Amino acid sequence: MQAMNSAAVNGPVVAQLIDFVRTRQASIELVAPLSPEDTAVQSMPDASPSKWHLAHTTWFFEEFVLQQQPGYRFYNERWRFLFNSYYQSVGPMHARGSRGLLSRPRLDEVLAYRAAVDEAMARLIERGPDPELCARIVLGLHHEQQHQELLLTDIKHLFWCNPLLPAYSGDLPVAVRAAAAQNFVDGFDGIVEIGANPDSGFVFDCETPRHRSLLQPHALARRPVTNAEYRDFVDDGGYRSAQLWLSAGWATVQAEGWSGPMYWDAAAETEFTLGGVREIDPGAPVCHISYFEADAYAHWAGARLPTEAEWEHAAASRDANAGNFADAGLLHPQAAMADGDLLQLFGDVWEWTASPYLSYPGFQPLPGALGEYNGKFMCGQFVLRGGSCVTPSRHVRASYRNFFHPRDRWQFSGLRLAQDR
């Protein structure tokens, strides 16, 4: 990328360019341990090849930022079809489940594409684009961070499907320690405000508007459920007890043959990680469980899942940057280190809530094609909160709403219990 003429730009422009370069480089660093063959394969329709993630995040800046500049010509007009994800108002797209068939363009061609777009973006940022384009650039960077997390979860699933069970990184640190004692912490009951504060900086449209919510008397578990605690559920016949499960969940258990969390071996002694096969850490938060599994465990434990309003109000006063995120380099959940009342609200595992992913009162999607980013998925999914060990730091906040279908479990998803008071 060309050197920036610092005399010609002001502080905010310098900050945005630094953030752009840092975020884009982080994606390149994530694929560094991979071979070109690794980056081209798709293990299931819900996952995407690493090469596609690299290209799609680049397409986003071309489509929604650079195209707005007079005279801009697309790097390759035909690639607009290949690397569009789901933006119907932009144009047609290659079928999601067939992204693994895209052996071409080659990885080196995708990297050249990224470099060319990065050069054009750097020139644009140096000129000091207007506020609307600046907002789109920030959105594009947060979009890229989402795909950095997806790249790691997708490559983990891909390597798990390989009989050799290769490690993404064979030298990931292992930190095994006892879990903090579990108890329940009373939450606030009454009318609260949730949703993003308009003055809090960047947020996705689905986090808005801020609105009032009534919390009933309740308590939240001090920390997420651990592997050892979930193992008790497994050993007690949790996956064989239909009365614990939602109807759709029980049907999924039967159809898929589930007997424990994804990536656990049949004996519940080892699990597949980005560092390869390891012994299951009893004190670490259980992860790679679906909403159905989280809900069934909560019923077995005589509890329930928190609502997203309960979770957000409890997390609003906490430091969202304090947690085990991807930047720590562990890439796996760890037992809580800190002491206090509510632990691990951020990082380690995304926490399923009991709340369906729906719009807030007064919600308005972004105008134009960007309105397809979140709003059109508000059907049939549940909200998760808090980020995980493969989420980039500085990406989440108390109001951040992740969402997946209730049967999905290839993400680093776990649970925290709640109780009525």
What helix, strand, coil percent values describe the chain, rounded to 5? Answer: 40, 10, 50
- Six-digit token string for 64: 């929604």
CB distance 286 to 238 below 8 Å: no
Interior angle at CA 42, CA 41 and CA 46, nearest 5: 165
> In this structure, what token pair is assigned to residue 179?
């879990």
pLDDT at 98: 98
Q: Check residue 339 and give its pLDDT.
A: 82
Q: Which of 105-119, 167-181, 230-244, 344-358 has the lowest mean pLDDT?
A: 167-181
- Residue 199: the pLDDT is 83
pLDDT, position 129 = 87
CB neighbour burial string for 256-292, b if at least 16 within 10 angstroms, e if fewer: eebebbbbbeeebeebbbbbeeeebbbbbbbbbbbbb
Cis peptide leading into residue 261 (ω within 30°)? no
Domain 184-420 fold is paralog of FGE (formylglycine-generating enzyme) (3.90.1580)
pLDDT digit string, tens, across residues 344-393: 999 999 999 999 999 999 999 999 989 999 999 999 999 999 999 999 99
Q: What is the pLDDT of residues 182-221, one digit of tens each?
A: 999 999 999 999 999 878 899 999 999 999 999 999 999 9
Q: What is the DSSP string of 88-150?
A: TTT-----GGGGGG---S-HHHHHHHHHHHHHHHHHHHHH---HHHHHHHHHHHHHHHHHHHH
CB-CB contact of 124 with 65 (8 Å): yes
Residue 337: pLDDT band (50, 70, 90) is confident
The pair of structure tokens assigned to 413 is 């998803």
State how far the Cα of 113 lies from the Cα of 118, in Å rounded to an integer: 8
Statement: residue 51 has pLDDT above 50: yes
How far is residue 81's CA from residue 94's CA, in Å, rounded to a whole number? Answer: 6
Largest CA distance in the chain: 68
Domain spanning 6-160: which CATH class is it, in words? mainly alpha
- Predicted confidence at residue 174, as pLDDT, reads 85
Entry pTM: 0.95
Does residue 10 have a pLDDT over 70? Answer: no
Of 330, 332, 345, 222, the residue nearest 281 (C-alpha): 332
- R_g (Cα) of the chain, nearest Å: 22
Cα distance between residue 100 and residue 131, in whole Å:
37
pLDDT number for residue 1 = 41
Residues forming a β-bridge with 304: 418
pLDDT digits (tens, 9 = 90+) for 130-164: 999 999 999 999 999 999 999 999 999 999 999 99
At a CB cut-off of 8 Å and minimum separation 6, what does 305 contact? 294, 295, 298, 352, 353, 354, 415, 416, 417, 418
Give the span between the Cα atoms of 329 and 154, in whole angstroms.
Answer: 17
Domain ranges of the chain: 6-160, 184-420
Mean pLDDT, rounded, of the chain: 95
Q: CA geometry: angle at 273 spanning 307 and 224, to 5°?
A: 25
Distance, in Å, from the CA atom of 148 to the CA atom of 154, rounded to the nearest integer, reads 10
pLDDT at residue 115 greater than cutoff 80: yes
Quick one: pLDDT at residue 175?
Answer: 79
